[in-house]
Structure 1
């Protein structure tokens, strides 16, 4: 199997938890190293790889794929350098800070003939995959409304300074928002317009930490919410159709397992607790059905496998740059809507 030589632009939680375990497990990747500024951490986990002193040194090496997993406000500049160097790239969410930046990166990747993927791993969460199957099976009839939540209870400010200081990449809209927006776009496509309420709710916070986004489609609406003052969470996915409803708690276990240092596999990985199964209440073949639905297995491995095939077999990226552009269109529309207190056409 051809190996894709891969490097990180940082080795903090993102690289250590969300990327490295899958790159190490997938037979098609070879980890070369990471750019590290002050803390030299990658050798603790991978003693044989390189710790680069600069992005220039990294790009001069025999690297095929670069993972841009630095703070959001740096994504555009670093990804542009990577693409102009003729390297393939995976860029963390939020893809960029503006639509114009996202469109420019997509254009450069096309011009250079390299692959550019956005790391929207939540498409491979067990809960979302189950919701996706329910909708694709059309057991709810025509969709009337859907509501997705990414709720937490965490009134304290993050110790990561770049997340709490005012900059173009900070705030919940560009942290948790891209997950919710991408999931909505994955299921329903680009909406016609958007209305949003973006607020600050935590004491001493300087950045937005609450979002309520309403996406307008021709015959239905999708609401996306995230905040830090939800001590008792309601179902993270609520979908109502003309025949019935599906309610699903957020239950994916992958992030927690990765933080514990557990390694992915293809058999049992991403199997969530049965207590988190969703409730389907609908009409099928003229009969009312109310039952607990088994949850599909989640696995972020599938994202990396998709990236592998996009590079080796010239397949479409698992999450394309154009997908990233559309997420940024929603984010920009939401910012404009909240500021002007009106619905914004996309």
Structure 2
């Protein structure tokens, strides 16, 4: 019988309720044992076996809790991660990891001192479209990539939200909310860039935090990576555009997993989890064997459950950690450099 790990979840807002609990409970080796909810018992409606507690300290002092998952706003991740690690727990924390690289460095060092696993929930590595692009590049389907453009746009022209992401201050705004995903994907595909230049703005009426960015990452071998996000895009273009020396790949649409989770489905109760309809498959044009080839590439089914399966496998000693805290820390460093590049109005070298 496989070893079971007990999980404590801090926070049952959107992230905890939609992105974490349904995925955690789809992994046979993980048992969602306790949930911290300050003023409600909503988690028991879907997971009647869980114990709802009012304080994170109830997780820290419970010797049966092996892993603590932190889904609070990133502006207070440090306190919860520090306390969980200090009490001997393995930790999964929502992205963005922290607001600053100094905070990330502190937590990484503490995890090493306590010999505990620390990982950041960069679930977008398991988006089907991104997984497909990794295979396209790995197999050289469009040759050596020379240009990559990634968008995350929406239409919300007036800022009315009271969400933490929309408030002023460090650790807020679209760079931390969405940009961190795009940085992580760029690093996974192409590694750490040599340079970064950024245009970061507040565009919308009533906005207090930056809500637009246009970033350029410079690499060797004439590779240029552009990352963009805007809240005033009513007619959406492609999400991914890749051009290589043998061809191109263009992909529209968002991975379907988050919407499926919002709709109450999970990897445990959905037969075709993460599978995209054919009309959303990406289009490509390339050359193979002297022949010009044009068509669609079936999107690999997305698999957020693989993140938590890896957490289980790593803690039980059968796999390397898929999302290392040092990688998540580099995403925060790039956000800092992007903000600095915008303020200075120039291209900056990427320093780790």
TM-score by length of 1: 0.97
| Offset, 1:163 | 2.3
**Of 197, 200, 210, the match for 1:198:** 200
- In 2, are the aligned partners of 1:71 and 1:169 still within 8 Å (CA)? no
**Which sections of structure 2, spanning at least 5 residues, go unmatched?**
none
Q: Which residue of 2 aligns with 1:60?
A: 61
- Deviation above 3 Å: which 4+ runs of structure 1? 158-161
1-side partners of 2:301 and 2:65: how far apart? 32
Q: Which residue of 1 aligns with 2:343?
A: 339
Q: Which residue of 1 aligns with 2:22?
A: 21
**Of 240, 261, 266, the match for 1:258:** 261
| Offset, 1:102 | 1.1
Q: Which residue of 2 aligns with 1:240?
A: 243
| Offset, 1:167 | 2.7
Deviations 1:222-243 (A, max 9, x none): 0001111111111111011111
**Of 272, 278, 281, the match for 1:277:** 281
Residue 145 to residue 288, structure 1, CA distance change in 2 (3 Å): same
| Offset, 1:344 | 1.4
- In 1, are the aligned partners of 2:85 and 2:116 still within 8 Å (CA)? yes
**Of 82, 85, 89, the match for 1:83:** 85
| Offset, 1:148 | 0.5
CA RMSD of aligned residues (A): 1.4
| Offset, 1:159 | 3.4
| Offset, 1:161 | 3.5
- In 2, are the aligned partners of 1:172 and 1:208 still within 8 Å (CA)? yes
1-side partners of 2:77 and 2:160: how far apart? 20
**Is it true that 1:288 corresponds to 2:289 in the alignment?**
no
| Offset, 1:271 | 0.5
1-side partners of 2:253 and 2:69: how far apart? 27
| Offset, 1:176 | 0.4
1-side partners of 2:181 and 2:227: how far apart? 10
Q: Which residue of 1 aligns with 2:224?
A: 221
| Offset, 1:281 | 0.7
1:33 aligns to what SS in structure 2? strand
Deviations 1:146-200 (A, max 9, x none): 0011111122435343222213221000000111110010111111111111101
2-side partners of 1:157 and 1:32: how far apart? 38
| Offset, 1:264 | 1.5
2-side partners of 1:340 and 1:285: how far apart? 48
2:229 aligns to what SS in structure 1? strand
| Offset, 1:108 | 1.1
| Offset, 1:258 | 0.7
- In 2, are the aligned partners of 1:182 and 1:327 still within 8 Å (CA)? yes
- In 2, are the aligned partners of 1:246 and 1:279 still within 8 Å (CA)? yes
| Offset, 1:20 | 0.9
Please show how residues 101-140 of structure 1 align to structure 2 within 5 Å.
101-140=103-142
- In 2, are the aligned partners of 1:127 and 1:249 still within 8 Å (CA)? no
TM-score by length of 2: 0.95
Deviations 1:263-300 (A, max 9, x none): 21475100011111111111112211111111111110
2-side partners of 1:160 and 1:64: how far apart? 34
**Is it true that 1:308 corresponds to 2:327 in the alignment?**
no
Residue 187 to residue 262, structure 1, CA distance change in 2 (3 Å): same
1:175 aligns to what SS in structure 2? helix
Once the two structures are overlaid, the 10-residue window that deviates more, 250-259 or 116-125, is 250-259
Q: Which residue of 1 aligns with 2:178?
A: 176
**Which sections of structure 1, spanning at least 5 residues, go unmatched?**
none
